[in-house]
Each structure stands twice: as structure tokens, then as C-alpha cells.
């Protein structure tokens, strides 16, 4: 993966109808801003219950977007990352329907995870209560078979997302076949979606247990044989992230979004600086994604301190709601379906109270900390919450999943905020010092200084948190210069 900013986007929500139009947008209107693109689920269909994360056919491009040739065409111009949805498939898949019809006689029966597979001797109360869930309730759904009997099927996320038995031969062959298809299409990197939930074992939390680490490691090694790098998507306690990073190519720095909010809200970089001293370096940094703003990634766990004291963290969450004029509350927790217990649903721009200056500083910090930056398509345009889409779907995360028209995109590109962010992005992509050594300056808590140096090239960000001022200095044409400021 290039050490340049990566775009996170759906094909059909950024003013495009298909892959070819996305390709044109990235080569023209958004030229120079991105070294790669994480294309969010484009499988058949893109408009299921979970916005493509519940594929009926993981090996087929939704025909409305194009086909694998169109995916390959995009890959000729920039690196492509795609999701490998390791945990589940849609209840509407051909395979699961065949299982419902024929039961254990189905050739696809080994692919799916039933209650009795994990608990062949049954489960007691302690077994069930120990299972970690990202959403309320137990991870089982009752399905009626064709013969009239009922079976409990493991459904970690929603009743329409049927968990795969990744320990079975069928499960391993299924994932392997997708990797082979990705290789042919020129996809150079995969994001392991929900990999932390993939392994279920009686008497455990069924989340990030030792066997899960083994599974991730084995799948990573398999991907490498196809020439594909791996990014693991795990929202969890920060020490778990550090441990995972030792086993894979890349992990997300999911702690960063809330730490940057803490820095800007509370006018102190203390917690952020601590994290930068201990954080893994093989990270992809984000402030926003297609999901919410993760809280669990900085919170305490089982009596162990988090990256931000719990009381301070509660204040940050309250401030997000206040800054969004309570709109984020309508999309978070029990207020909306498809809810996540560990996230606040809000655009990052609104989380910062629509403060364009604070938003630019937040992006500057993201681009200067170690890691490869990703910017979500709504974040590219520094946009507001989509309350109309939220009202129409009642899916919390849709507050930050706007469908742009081409005219909206052109209007945003002409705006002052986009121009300033574009300048910052091109600076991050083009300055050679970012391929060198990172240094965190010794400053007071109310300021932040980050410097990158490679041979004679250097670039430095200084932020004064008290007055929300930043300045970027560095080499330009062999001479020191002020490259950007507010």
C-alpha cells in the first residue's frame, strides 16, 4: 500500500453510478488526492440489510455497478482494497436457502454455524452470558427448516447475516475462492471485516480469543500467497490492537478519532501524545469510516485503564451530541436499529460542531501521525449528518452514509473548505519527508509538534490548542518555508 492518503467510499454514493464513473472521478475531479481506494462492499447486492456487508453472492459484482473487468480497470490507476467478509453471508444466499431446504443433507450444511456445532452438549447460563456481542441480545436466530423443524443459527450481527463455520473445510474453501478471484481482479489489499467474531468456542467470549489470533494469522499468510496485503478491522481494547498489529500487515488506529476529539475539545494533547509513544506503526489511520466513531477503542476494560479516563470519555461523547445539536443521539444506541453499543453515529465534521478550522486541524494531525491515512468520502467534503436518510431507514450509521449527486460533488469541490483540505492532502501525498523518521516534539500539554525527516528533507506540524492555530513548515525546493497555516 502506497504511503499516500487512501479514499474510503461506496461506488454509488459519491456521485457515481458504477465503477467506470468512479474511475473517472478519481482521475479528474479528485486527481492527486488519493494513492488508493478502499471500495466498500460492491458485491451482489449492494442494498441488502447491511449496505453490502450481507452479500448474497460475495463472488459477484452487483451488475448495477459493473463487473470484475471494471474493477480491474480501476486497479490499473490506483491500488484497490476490498472487504473480505469472513464472518457471514446473507440469509438470502443460494447456499443458505439450500441448507434450509435440505438440512444436514445439503452440500452447504458444513458452511454454516449452528448452535449445536458450538455447543454439542448444550450451553448453560454462564456459557451464554460470556459471549461478547456488539449488539443487544444473544447471537442466535431461530430458522424453520423445510421439514418443519427449527434450528438455532449463529447470527452475530443481524438475523439476516448467517455466520460461517470458518473452521470447516467448506468455510476455508469459500474464503480461499474469494481470494483467488480478488487476485485475478488486481485487488492488492483486503480488509478482514468482523474477523474478531469469526471463531466461536464454548466457555469463551467468542471474540478475539487465542484461536481467533491463529485464524487471522493463517488467513493473512494465505492472502500473502496471492500477493494480497491484509488490514484487520477490530474494535477493541487498545492493548488488543497492539497485540493484533504484531501478527498482520496493518491494523486500524481506531483510537485516533476520539483522541483527536479529546485533544481539540479539552485543549490538551496529553492522552494523544501517550498513545503516539506506544501505538503500533503498521496502522491505517482514520477519523471517520462507514461505521460510527468508536468508543471502546479508548475506553477502560475489566478494571484496566483506557487511553482516556472514563469520566473524560463520557464528557467527549456528550460534547459530540451537543455539537451536533443532539442529532447524533437520534442515530446512536437504542435510538436506531442496526445499532452498535460501542460507537457514536455522527459525521466527524458535526462532531466538531461544524467548525471548519478545527476540522482542518484534525485532518492535519491525522496526516502527520504515523500510519497510512484513509479519508471517508463524506469526510472528504467535510459534510453534515444526513438526517433525511436516517429518517427513511432508521439505520443509525446511515446518518454518515449520504448519497451524493454529481452536482453536489461539483459544488463541494468548488468550496473553500475542500480547497484547503485538498492542499493539505496533496502536501501529505507529495512530501518526501513522510517516508522518513517520525519525531514527537516535547511541548506543553496545550500544544503539539510532530516532525518527519528524511535525509535533508523535513516537514513539521505545530498546533496551538488554546487558540486553534496550526502551522506547517518544511523543505520546499531545497529551502525551509512555511507550507501551510491558518
88 annotated ligand binder: yes
DSSP annotation string for 106-140: STTGGGB-BHHHH-TT---HHHHHTS--SSSS-SE
Distance CA(66)–CA(62), nearest Å, equals 7
Q: Which of 157, 159, 56, 168 is nearest to 104 (CA)?
A: 168
Query: Which CATH number is 437-485 given?
Result: 2.20.220
Query: What do you get for the CA distance between the two ends of the chain, in Å?
Result: 31
Write the CB contacts of 301 (distance below 8 Å, at least 6 apart in sequence): 237
Angle in degrees, 0-180, between the axes of helices 210-225 and 238-245, rounded to the nearest 10 = 40
- Taking the CA of residue 323 as centre, how many other CA atoms within 13 Å lie in the half-sphere pointing to its CB? 26
Question: What CATH number is given for 94-162 in this structure?
Answer: 3.90.400.10
- Which cell numbers hold the place of 475? 523543505
Place of cell 484487520: 232
Q: Which residue has the cell 500510519?
A: 371
Output the pLDDT for position 338.
40
Of the candidates 49, 54, 163, 233, the residue annotated as catalytic is 233
- Indicate where the chain has its CATH 2.20.220 domain(s): 437-485
26 and 77 Cβ atoms separated by less than 8 Å: yes
Element (H, E) at 454: strand 447-454
Q: What are phi and psi of 324, to 5 degrees?
A: -90, 10
Query: Which of the residues 193, 253, 262, 398 is marked catalytic?
Result: 193
Q: Tell me the C-alpha distance between 462 and 449, whole Å.
A: 5
Whether residue 342 is annotated as binding a ligand: the answer is yes
CATH code that applies to domain 6-86+169-435: 3.20.20.80
Residue 13 labelled as part of a binding site: no
- Residue 297 assigned as binding residue: no
50 annotated to a ligand binding site: yes
pLDDT recorded at residue 334: 62
Known binding residue 217? Answer is: no
Contact 215, 199 (CB under 8 A): yes
pLDDT in the model for residue 339:
41
Nearby residues of 296 by Cβ (< 8 Å), 6 or more positions away: 235, 236, 237, 342
Portions of the chain given CATH number 3.20.20.80: 6-86+169-435
Residues 6+ apart with CB under 8 A from 4: 34, 35, 36, 372, 428, 429
188's grid cell: 492488492
pLDDT by residue for the chain (486 residues), tens only, comes to 899 999 999 999 999 999 999 999 999 999 999 999 999 999 999 998 888 999 999 999 999 999 999 999 999 999 999 999 999 999 999 999 999 999 999 999 999 999 999 999 999 999 999 998 877 789 999 999 999 999 999 999 999 999 999 999 999 999 999 999 999 999 999 999 888 899 999 999 999 899 999 999 999 999 999 999 999 998 889 998 898 888 888 999 999 999 999 999 999 999 999 999 999 999 999 999 999 999 999 999 889 999 999 999 999 999 999 999 999 999 987 655 444 557 899 999 999 999 999 999 999 999 999 999 999 999 999 999 999 999 999 999 999 999 999 999 999 999 999 999 999 999 999 999 999 999 999 999 999 999 999 999 999 999 999 999 999 999 998 899 999 999
Quick check: 77 and 24 in contact, CB under 8 A?
A: no
CB 121 within 8 A of CB 77: no
pLDDT of residue 234: 86
pTM: predicted TM-score of the whole model, two decimal places:
0.94
Question: C-alpha cell of 485?
Answer: 497555516
**Residue 414 CB contacts under 8 Å (≥ 6 apart), including other chains:** none
Cβ atoms of residues 55 and 40 within 8 Å: no
Give how far the C-alpha of residue 199 lies from the chain's centroid of Cα atoms, to the nearest Å: 20
pLDDT on residue 55: 93
In terms of Cα–Cα distance, which of 290, 267, 456, 461 is closest to 363?
461
**Total residue length of the chain:** 486
- Every domain of the chain with CATH number 3.90.400.10 lies at 94-162
Active site residue 233: yes
Amino acid at each position: 500500500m502506497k504511503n499516500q492518503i487512501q479514499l474510503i467510499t461506496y461506488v454509488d454514493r459519491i456521485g457515481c453510478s458504477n465503477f467506470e464513473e468512479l474511475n473517472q472521478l478519481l482521475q479528474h475531479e479528485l486527481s492527486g488526492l488519493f494513492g488508493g481506494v478502499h471500495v466498500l462492499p460492491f458485491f451482489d447486492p449492494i442494498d441488502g440489510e447491511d449496505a453490502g456487508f450481507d452479500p448474497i453472492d460475495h463472488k459477484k459484482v452487483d451488475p448495477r455497478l459493473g463487473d470484475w473487468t471494471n474493477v480491474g480497470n480501476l486497479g490499473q490507476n490506483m491500488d484497490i482494497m476490498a472487504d473480505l467478509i469472513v464472518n457471514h453471508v446473507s440469509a438470502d444466499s443460494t447456499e443458505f436457502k439450500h441448507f434450509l431446504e435440505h438440512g444436514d443433507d445439503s452440500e452447504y450444511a458444513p458452511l454454516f454455524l449452528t448452535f449445536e456445532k458450538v455447543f454439542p452438549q448444550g450451553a448453560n447460563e454462564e456459557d451464554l452470558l460470556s459471549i461478547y456481542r456488539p449488539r443487544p441480545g444473544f447471537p442466535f436466530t431461530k430458522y424453520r427448516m423445510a421439514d418443519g423443524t427449527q434450528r438455532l443459527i449463529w447470527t452475530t450481527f443481524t438475523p439476516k447475516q448467517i455466520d460461517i463455520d470458518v473452521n470447516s473445510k467448506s468455510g476455508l474453501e469459500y474464503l480461499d475462492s474469494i481470494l483467488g478471484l480478488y487476485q485475478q481482479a488486481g485487488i492488492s489489499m483486503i480488509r478482514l471485516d468482523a474477523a474478531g467474531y469469526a471463531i466461536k468456542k464454548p466457555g469463551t467470549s467468542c471474540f478475539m480469543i487465542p484461536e481467533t489470533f491463529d485464524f487471522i494469522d493463517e488467513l493473512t499468510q494465505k492472502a500473502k500467497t496471492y500477493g494480497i496485503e491484509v488490514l484487520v478491522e477490530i474494535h477493541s481494547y487498545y492493548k488488543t490492537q497492539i497485540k493484533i498489529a504484531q501478527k498482520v500487515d496493518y491494523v486500524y488506529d481506531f483510537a485516533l478519532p476520539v483522541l483527536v476529539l479529546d485533544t481539540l475539545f479539552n485543549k490538551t494533547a496529553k492522552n494523544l501524545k501517550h498513545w503516539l509513544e506506544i501505538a503500533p506503526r503498521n496502522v491505517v489511520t482514520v477519523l471517520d469510516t462507514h461505521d460510527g466513531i468508536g468508543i471502546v477503542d479508548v475506553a477502560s476494560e475489566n478494571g484496566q485503564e483506557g487511553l482516556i479516563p472514563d469520566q473524560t470519555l463520557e464528557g467527549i461523547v456528550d460534547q459530540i451530541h451537543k455539537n451536533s445539536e443532539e442529532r447524533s443521539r437520534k442515530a446512536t444506541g437504542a435510538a436506531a436499529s442496526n445499532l452498535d453499543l460501542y460507537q457514536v453515529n455522527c459525521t466527524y465534521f458535526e462532531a466538531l460542531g461544524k467548525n471548519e478550522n478545527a476540522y482542518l486541524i484534525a485532518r492535519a494531525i491525522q496526516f502527520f501521525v504515523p500510519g497510512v491515512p484513509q479519508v471517508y468520502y463524506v469526510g472528504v467534503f467535510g459534510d453534515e449528518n444526513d438526517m433525511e436518510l436516517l429518517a427513511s431507514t432508521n439505520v443509525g450509521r446511515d446518518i454518515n452514509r449520504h448519497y451524493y449527486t454529481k452536482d453536489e460533488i461539483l459544488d463541494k469541490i468548488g468550496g473553500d473548505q475542500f480547497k484547503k483540505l485538498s492542499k493539505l492532502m496533496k502536501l501529505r501525498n507529495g512530501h518526501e519527508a513522510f517516508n522518513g523518521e517520525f519525531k514527537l516534539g516535547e511541548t506543553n500539554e496545550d500544544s503539539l509538534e510532530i516532525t518527519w525527516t528524511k535525509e535533508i528533507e523535513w516537514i513539521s506540524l505545530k498546533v496551538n490548542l488554546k487558540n486553534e492555530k496550526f502551522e506547517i513548515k518544511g523543505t520546499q525546493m531545497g529551502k525551509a518555508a512555511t507550507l501551510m497555516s491558518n
